């Protein structure tokens, strides 16, 4: 199940023009018009519907990125909180790796992990569900160790050299760039697309939904004047919430 972003543009703007604008603004993906497939009939009279080619996955894009934020926090405050949480976690992993008994602790965890995996293979029905719950709790309790092993441990190469593929100190220094750089770049790309369309039309609409067994639908609508548009309007957009951006 993947997210799909829909861009609804007035029919007064020619399809080939819209596709060229999308290609220029969304360089990371190809796009197509799917109006003939009746994907969102509620907007048929307004305009044409455009999506990523083949209705490809849009998970992790700026739209609806933090849709579950319901307490009125701004994008800046969300950034700060996530940054602090990420830095705190990295510092915990660093302390873990510096423990004198790290290898002993790691081996004990891996030994129990292998036992649980074997137990899972031998279990069926209700027993399997109980063992799976036990495994999930165990994995959660030792998630820092698994992160350390997969990303931050020293690894010996074939020639015997020790390397670390992800340096914790470097990640802490660059945390905002790593975590949020793509989001802000994607927002700028989206704004370029919106502005290019609004040069030729009075409004443009956006909607995102999860491609499960249901077709997209409009749960509610939100209107924003282009001059008032900000990243919060995009990043906190809800699934199936139609956002209309107009010139005023």
* DSSP one-letter code for 28: T
Mean pLDDT of all residues in 226-233: 96
* pLDDT value of residue 157: 77
Tell me the residue range of the domain where 82 lies.
75-176
70 pLDDT band (50/70/90 cuts)? low
Domain edge (last residue) among 118, 146, 176: 176
Report how far residue 65's alpha carbon sits from residue 238's, in angstroms, rounded to the nearest whole number.
Answer: 9
* Rounded-to-integer distance, Cα 19 and Cα 9, Å: 11
Together in a domain, 164 and 129: yes
- In this predicted structure, the answer to whether residue 216 has a pLDDT above a threshold of 80 is yes
Neighbours of 73 (CB within 10 A): 15
Q: Which of 19, 25, 40 is nearest to 209 (CA)?
A: 40
| 17 and 66 both lie in a single domain | yes
Instruction: Please indicate, yes or no, whether residues 211 and 133 belong to a single structural domain of this protein.
Output: no
| Statement to judge: residues 143 and 159 lie in one domain | yes
Q: Work out the pLDDT band at 1, boundaries 50, 70, 90.
A: low
Residues 230 and 138 reside in one and the same domain: no
Number of domains in the chain: 2
Residues 87, 176: Cα–Cα separation, whole Å? 10
Q: Does residue 62 sit in the same domain as residue 88? A: no
pLDDT at 201: 97
> Could you tell me whether strands 241-246 and 220-225 are parallel, antiparallel, or unpaired per DSSP bridges?
parallel
pLDDT in the model for residue 248: 76
Report the C-alpha gap between 39 and 219 in whole angstroms.
Answer: 15
Q: Rounded mean pLDDT of the chain?
A: 91
Q: Which residue has the higher pLDDT, 243 or 30?
A: 243
pTM metric for this prediction: 0.74
Residues 13 and 65 in one domain: yes
């Amino acid at each position: 199940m993947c997210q799909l972003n829909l861009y609804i543009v007035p029919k007064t703007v020619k399809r080939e023009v819209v596709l060229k604008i999308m290609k220029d603004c969304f360089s990371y993906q190809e796009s197509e018009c799917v109006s003939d497939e009746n994907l969102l009939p509620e907007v048929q009279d307004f305009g044409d519907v455009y999506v990523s080619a083949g209705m490809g996955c849009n998970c992790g894009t700026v739209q609806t990125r933090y849709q579950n934020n319901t307490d009125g926090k701004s994008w800046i405050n969300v950034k700060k909180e996530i940054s602090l949480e990420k830095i705190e976690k990295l510092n915990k992993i660093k302390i873990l790796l510096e423990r004198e008994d790290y290898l002993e602790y790691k081996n004990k965890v891996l030994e129990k992990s292998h036992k649980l995996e074997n137990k899972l293979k031998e279990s069926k029905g209700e027993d399997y569900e109980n063992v799976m719950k036990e495994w999930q709790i165990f994995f959660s309790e030792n998630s820092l160790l698994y992160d350390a092993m997969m990303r931050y441990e020293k690894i010996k190469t074939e020639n015997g050299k020790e390397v670390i593929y992800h340096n914790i100190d470097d990640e802490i220094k660059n945390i905002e760039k790593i975590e949020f750089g793509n989001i802000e770049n994607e927002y700028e790309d989206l704004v370029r697309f919106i502005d290019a369309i609004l040069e030729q039309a009075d409004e443009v609409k956006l909607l995102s939904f999860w491609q499960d067994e249901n077709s997209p639908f409009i749960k509610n609508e939100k209107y924003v004047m282009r001059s008032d548009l900000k990243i919060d309007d995009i990043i906190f957009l809800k699934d199936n919430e139609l956002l209309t951006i107009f010139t005023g």
